[in-house]
Chain A
Amino acid sequence: EAGVAQSPRYKIIEKRQSVAFWCNPISGHATLYWYQQILGQGPKLLIQFQNNGVVDDSQLPKDRFSAERLKGVDSTLKIQPAKLEDSAVYLCASSSGGGRAFFGQGTRLTVV
């Protein structure tokens, strides 16, 4: 079974630029999550989708972050404009239920 796919693996941008991350979940997983992990911290939930509907986006900085999951499969997370404090690993995870989430390899974002 293929795992969660994410791209790109690494991204370096200047502050105030925009960036987008892509995620393809495990086939058949209805729930998709985006997490932000800052160095030395645990992952922090940004947004949770159930199929193509948003379940929880309470911790998403909506003035600069946006996410969508078209057709209930792939998802993109966008940051515009980026700030220095957005430097982190962005992790996509998917679940078929029970809260058991499986993570992709992540995208390491560096904002300079």
Chain B
Amino acid sequence: QKEVEQNSGPLSVPEGAIASLNCTYSDRGSQSFFWYRQYSGKSPELIMFIYSNGDKEDGRFTAQLNKASQYVSLLIRDSQPSDSATYLCAVGGGADGLTFGKGTHLIIQP
């Protein structure tokens, strides 16, 4: 059984600070790693994906992957109130469907 673990939060971060979200996964054969943002009552929206060890940056978002530690993280710089949402970590194994964590509820305090 593939598992993806996230701290459910809530994680409260002041506006303008860096929000750090973390995720661990159980299947060492996992090949693809994703972060989705989900606003209340809305569907998940893909914001970052990473396939190789290291960092990947896109605007204010940085995804970090450490396959040896089976650890994925998402950093959000200059956090804005509009970043307040649930962030879902998802892991895939090539052609497999994604296994999602339960999500971390992030609150950006103005």
- A-side interface residues toward B, CB under 8 Å? 33, 35, 40-45, 48, 50, 55-56, 89, 91, 98-106
Contact = CB atoms under 8 A, between A and B. Distances in A.
Contacts, number: 57
Contacts of B25: none
B59 interface: no
Give the interface residue-count category, chain B.
20 to 34
Instruction: Name the residue among A41, A50, A99, A101 with the largest chain B CB count within 10 angstroms.
Output: A99
Contact of A50 (B4, B95, B98): B95
Contacts of B96: 48, 55-56, 99
Interface of B: 4, 31-32, 34, 42-46, 49, 51, 88, 90, 92, 94-103
22 contacts: A33-B97, A35-B100, A40-B102, A41-B102, A43-B44, A43-B88, A44-B100, A45-B99, A48-B97, A55-B97, A91-B44, A98-B51, A99-B32, A99-B34, A99-B98, A100-B46, A100-B49, A101-B98, A103-B44, A104-B43, A105-B43, A106-B43
